[in-house]
Amino acid sequence: MAQIKVKQVIGLQNTINSITGRDNVVETFTTNQTNGDTGITLTNAARETDAIMVFVNGHKTQEGFSWKYNGSIVNTATLEAGSELVWDQTTAGFALEADDEIQIQYETPAGGVSNAGSQPGSTYNDTAVNNSIDSLELALAGSNTLSASVDSLESAVDQTDIIASIDSLESGGSMGGTMTSHIIPDTNAAYDLGNAENKIRHLFLSDNSLYFGNQVISIQNDKLQLPSLTLNPGTDEEFEISSKSQVGKLAFDEEEARMIKKYDILFKYACSSVWIKKTASAEEQFVGSGQWVSLQQNAQGVATDGAEGWFLTCAHNVFQLDGSGNHQIFDQVWINYLDNWYRVDPSWIFYDAVADVCLIKTGITIQANHLLKISSVEPLTGQTVWLCGFPGGYDTDSMSKGIIRDAHFNINDSGQAVDSLFLNLPAIGGNSGSAILNNEGDIIGIYTFGYTDKETFGGGANRSVVHHVTEKLKVQTQPNARYVEKNYLGVDWARTSPIDLDQSYYPVVDGVGGPVLYSIPQAKGVRISAMAANSPLQTIVNVGDIILSAQVGGNQYDFGYADGQYTLGVLIYETLGQPVDITFIDMANRARLTKQFTPVTYQTVPALHDMYLIGGTNFKIIEEQAG
């Protein structure tokens, strides 16, 4: 007799069930109950309670469920039809969910009289049939052939009918239950697991290998190990990745290609040179830089204010102090778009002198994809940055690349008062007004100053200042308006060496006559180096005192030149008229004190004091003289 295959055993089991009157029942449910009574009830009686199998989303549940009948917990060996499934999420380890598929497999009790295949109906002894089934199960467990067990059943069922029953299942059979051996196809690369319409939901694997042809994916030391990867195979852009260096090269090449593309589709249209004639009688001409910008975008990030024609540059590209100490708008300022030159109408120039930021409303319609926008992400020290400008008047729309040396730069003599970026990036005169760009091509600052003998030392107001100032400038209506709604401090500050600190300030006590607070010099604070007669800090601090920190409007600022410390100028853009608590070292008493002052606005301050780089003009990159 031929050995019966696995699929024949399934058919044989169905035939045995037919003999005994038992049915293997599979029922599928869902429930909106997460724990406790589920509302799921058995349609039929179950022959053996312990043999009932419960699957949740295809995974057999070993524990965490019980049964009720008529509202009472059932502990009997069999179950009545209508018995309800009770879920225990603590024992099971998870709660049920509404989209869970719950499958229950069980066997109904014996019926007694059955008709199997073409055999006439007969009455069989249940005990004798059970003995035959047990014999079959032992044969299966021992991995022996089923010949002997089948022979022992031939008196009850003709084998021809068993095979016929098996064959009848081949076209519509199903698979379920617990896998106890390997699944090996009888033909290489001929069968699929799932298809395009009916996919396998989850595939849970151990940390052994997964083979794709001759390639292997595995887990080693809890880390995923991948074979070498080939990108874009069969094309001119085919690239193999098999090492960290190759990944780095690919990233570098992709970044380089992306910025080249950004220049080609955005920067060369958005960036513009600036030509300047300061007075009508002047013979000299100067150059600077600027760019067309969007200050308003829709939810998709597309500019919606192109018709305004906003142009961003630095303030010292549009005005200077005259002989009387007043701001004088330059006689001629020219900017470019799509190879056309436009002379700026002075009445639409708006600027903040201290921040050295200028916004011009030209009314020229600029295409949305030719506009730069201000980033929503604050820049960080060490970040890569780009500059597009007119260095020295030599090359229009000239690109340069560098990094941020310091994202919150505080010039050692307070010349650049506002919170600023300090860059390691090639730039010279003529770059003034260039936007500082991140890798997304968005504005994170504006280039306004540099050390004249060091082309890679420079920077300007950072993203938060540019964003704050442009939001204020875009709503100005007064012709060539100077922005004055900001806090006036009226002091200059400087860095103090640890040698001077040790000699003149430390040890520091907590309050006049108090206990010693600092016995050695602290790397914090800015020293007041000069104070105007109209400063709101008069009577609060004295020249020589060191301001350590301030609290205003719920914000805390620590001042100084180290990481995490700010320029005193951050107070300029705090809420107007808001009282400020400052903590400082009183030089005369070598004591730490805290006092409160209220800044005044620049509306009450002469234009002479509302200037860029006050106290640091020797560091300004001036407009480059043309020719």
pLDDT tens-digit readout, 438-459:
999 999 999 999 876 777 889 9
What's residue 208's pLDDT?
A: 74
What's residue 354's pLDDT?
A: 93
Q: Would you mind telling me the total number of residues written for the chain in this entry?
A: 627
Q: 38 in helix, strand or coil?
A: strand
Whether residue 231 is predicted with pLDDT greater than 90 in this model: the reply is no
**Does 179 reside within a domain?**
no
What's residue 183's pLDDT?
A: 86
Same domain, 451 and 523: no
For residue 72, give every residue at least 6 positions away whose Cβ sits within 8 Å of its Cβ, in sequence order, or none: none
| DSSP codes, 147-174 | HHHHHHHTTTS-HHHHHHHHHHHHTT--
Sheet holding 223-225, edge to edge: 210-212, 215-220, 223-225
If you average pLDDT over residues 129-137, what whole number do you get?
52
CATH code assigned at 596:
2.30.42.10
What's residue 225's pLDDT?
A: 80
φ, ψ dihedrals at 465, nearest 5°: -70, -45
What's the CA angle centered on 391, arms 388 and 395, to 5 degrees?
Answer: 80
Same domain, 537 and 453: no
Same domain, 310 and 400: yes
Same domain, 93 and 56: yes
Structural domain span for residue 492: 487-604
Whether residue 39 is predicted with pLDDT greater than 80 in this model: the reply is yes
Number of domains in the chain: 4
Same domain, 466 and 558: no
CB atoms within 10 A of CB 336: 17
Whether residue 471 is predicted with pLDDT greater than 90 in this model: the reply is yes
Out of 241, 270, 303, pick the residue that ends a domain: 241
Print burial letters for 506-522: b (CB count within 10 Å at least 16), e (below 16): bebbeeeeeeebbeebb
Going by pLDDT thresholds of 50, 70 and 90, the confidence category of residue 134 is: low
**Does 176 reside within a domain?**
no
What's residue 140's pLDDT?
A: 47
Same domain, 231 and 339: no
Distance CA 162, CA 34 (A): 44
What's residue 21's pLDDT?
A: 56
**Does 73 reside within a domain?**
yes
87: β partners: 36, 65
Out of 122, 145, 170, pick the residue that ends a domain: 170
**Does 137 reside within a domain?**
yes
If you average pLDDT over residues 505-521, what whole number do you get?
96
Whether residue 163 is predicted with pLDDT greater than 50 in this model: the reply is no
20: amino acid identity, one letter: T
What's residue 62's pLDDT?
A: 84
What's residue 149's pLDDT?
A: 46
Same domain, 320 and 295: yes
Between 12-26, 128-142, 361-375, the lowest mean confidence (pLDDT) is in 128-142
Torsion of CA 108, 110, 116, 119, to 10 degrees: -170
When computed from its CA atoms, the radius of gyration of the chain, rounded to whole angstroms, is: 41
If you average pLDDT over residues 7-15, what whole number do you get?
46
Same domain, 374 and 391: yes
Distance CA 600, CA 355 (A): 17
Task: Determine if residue 484 is left, alpha or beta; phi over 0 gives left, psi from -120 to 50 gives alpha, anything else beta.
Answer: alpha
φ, ψ dihedrals at 23, nearest 5°: -125, 140
pTM for the model: 0.64
Q: Which position has the higher pLDDT, 211 or 286?
A: 286
Question: With contact defined as beta carbons under 8 Å apart, do 320 and 330 qualify?
Answer: yes
Q: Which position has the higher pLDDT, 22 or 259?
A: 259
Whether residue 58 is predicted with pLDDT greater than 80 in this model: the reply is yes
Look over the chain and give the mean of its residue pLDDT values, rounded to a whole number.
Answer: 84
Q: Which position has the higher pLDDT, 527 or 169?
A: 527
For residue 80, give every residue at least 6 positions away whose Cβ sits within 8 Å of its Cβ, in sequence order, or none: 45, 69
Whether residue 595 is predicted with pLDDT greater than 90 in this model: the reply is yes
Distance CA 60, CA 108 (A): 20
Distance CA 114, CA 112 (A): 7
**Does 185 reside within a domain?**
no
What's residue 196's pLDDT?
A: 86
Longest dimension (CA), the chain: 125
Task: Determine if residue 234 is left, alpha or beta; phi over 0 gives left, psi from -120 to 50 gives alpha, anything else beta.
Answer: left
**Does 74 reside within a domain?**
yes
Q: Write out pLDDT tens, residues 521-546.
A: 999 999 999 999 999 999 999 999 99
What's residue 233's pLDDT?
A: 82
Same domain, 472 and 323: yes
Same domain, 436 and 302: yes
DSSP 8-state symbol, 308: G
CATH code assigned at 355:
2.40.10.120
Distance CA 397, CA 408 (A): 27
Out of 155, 170, 185, pick the residue that ends a domain: 170
Whether residue 465 is predicted with pLDDT greater than 90 in this model: the reply is yes
Same domain, 107 and 209: no
* Matching residue, tokens 């021809």: 160
Q: Which position has the higher pLDDT, 366 or 613?
A: 366
Q: Write out pLDDT tens, residues 347-401.
A: 999 999 999 999 999 999 999 999 999 999 999 999 999 999 999 889 988 999 9
What's residue 128's pLDDT?
A: 47
Q: Which position has the higher pLDDT, 169 or 118?
A: 169
**Does 175 reside within a domain?**
no
**Does 449 reside within a domain?**
yes
Question: With contact defined as beta carbons under 8 Å apart, do 287 and 390 qualify?
Answer: yes
Same domain, 333 and 378: yes
Going by pLDDT thresholds of 50, 70 and 90, the confidence category of residue 180 is: confident
Whether residue 235 is predicted with pLDDT greater than 50 in this model: the reply is yes
| DSSP codes, 527-593 | EEEEE-TT-TTTTT--TT-EEEEEEETTEEEEBSSSTT-B-GGGGGGSPTT--EEEEEEETTTTEEE
| Angle (deg, nearest 10), helices 159-170 and 6-20 | 110
Between 3-7, 164-168, 464-468, 527-531, the lowest mean confidence (pLDDT) is in 3-7
| Angle (deg, nearest 10), helices 126-141 and 6-20 | 170
